[in-house]
Amino acid sequence: MLRDWPYANHYVDSAIKTAYSILNSWRENYLKGLRRRRKPTVKRRFVRVKTTPNQGY
């Protein structure tokens, strides 16, 4: 599947996690009545920056 993919596998994993997070957040808000039935769409490119705890460096 990723034979000719120019990016590392962890980028694909990160993209899937981000998409799942967006949909899960929308679903929770929809069930609370805070969002409409229309599912979210990504309208522009973005980067989600992951922060990790300081490792003592």
Can you give the pLDDT at residue 31? 95
Selected residue with higher pLDDT from 7 and 23: 23
Contact, 37 vs 30, CB < 8 A?
yes
**pLDDT (tens digit per residue) in 10-57:** 788 888 888 899 999 999 999 999 999 998 888 888 777 777 776 665
Can you give the pLDDT at residue 56? 62
Q: What is the DSSP letter of 48?
A: P
Which residues lie below 8 Å from residue 30, measured CB to CB, with a gap of 6+?
A: 36, 37
Report the distance separating Cα 55 and Cα 57, nearest Å.
Answer: 6
Q: What is the DSSP letter of 39?
A: P
Query: What pTM was computed for the model?
Result: 0.66
